Structure 1
Amino acid sequence: MSKSRINIILFVLLALSLVGCAKPPTAEMDNAIAAVTRAENDPDAIAYGSSSLARAREALSNMQAEAGAKRYDGAKTYAQEAINAADRAIADGKTGAQRARDEAATLVNGARTALTETEKNITAAKGVKNLGLDFDGISQDFNSAKNLVDQAQGSLSTGNYPDCVSKSQSARSILGNIDTKISQASIATSRKK
């Protein structure tokens, strides 16, 4: 055998032995697992960053499959992908929570304003003779709306934004119905004159 042929065979054997000795990217994989766990334990990431969290979980699963198949370069790539997606889920969660908080605050403040306006309308309607309104029923509805607004404020304070939005919208609906009743009764009374 020629010397160059022996060198080629030795080079191939050396390369194969080095490939066989490759080690899994343990640090990167541990970091990926920690990042995904952090995102999975972040309530805002779960609520508002779910698509990024799903990508992080998928990358983590792919990382583990690649490591199991001893394709460590692929495992390392998926580990970094999982870390990036988990970080994105947390960032999306913070952004989404801020947006939800702002929306909830706007709705509860709008409901408080509507509460004040409806209270003025009720007071004005009580001053009109022969309006034909059930003021006891209106008072009960108004108190229900007021309680909903108070509950919405409490939900806003505790960070339960979906509940705050729901209660604020319900209160606005009740107040809108009261205002409609007063308006219709006023129109009907003015037509009788």
Structure 2
Amino acid sequence: MMKMFLNPDKPLSTCKEHSCDDCNAKTLIHCHFNGKLLMRFLMIAFPCLLIAGIGIFRFNYLFILPWIIFTLLFFGFIEIRVLCSHCPHYAEPESKTLKCWANYGSPKIWKYRPGPMNIPEKIIFFSGILFIFLYPVVLMAISQQFILLSLLMLFIIIGVSYMYRYMCKKCMNFACPFNCVPQETREIFSEHN
């Protein structure tokens, strides 16, 4: 039976430690993910995507399919190449899919590419995110769905704020443009990885 997440007692394959027991980075960085982190992320992302989808559908139901297809392709395929393949978690050999909180279950079809994102990757990443969230905002504004639009904006603000404060400050993917792990913590993590 395949485990849902990586063994939290076993160091990552990029880590030079033999045990996580005395690691001074494990409380500062999310080296291992769990169902609680996944549920937190889904509780942030799902309402935003649901409200956006409802707004698009109410504008014109024919406009929802391209948005759904692009969103699935972006988060399940494109983002994996331009962002996730830079993460130490992506290097884990025991799974062919991601076992993290943001893209759980997405296939690892590219090689692990340590280091920062390049400029084209950043452009692709930000363009995809902007399209996914601006497309419904524009359609809701055009169709004067101001209550739904306000609700979407509220959930986006709450979600971004929560992600920044509780998830991005502990994320090991330093290549991500949203990563806000303090430099001191990055150095502690890098001593092990």
Q: Same fold (TM over 0.5)?
A: no
Q: Which structure exhibits the higher relative contact order, with contacts defined as CA atoms closer than 8 Å and separated by 6 or more residues? A: 2
TM-score calculated relative to the size of structure 2: 0.33
Larger radius of gyration: 1
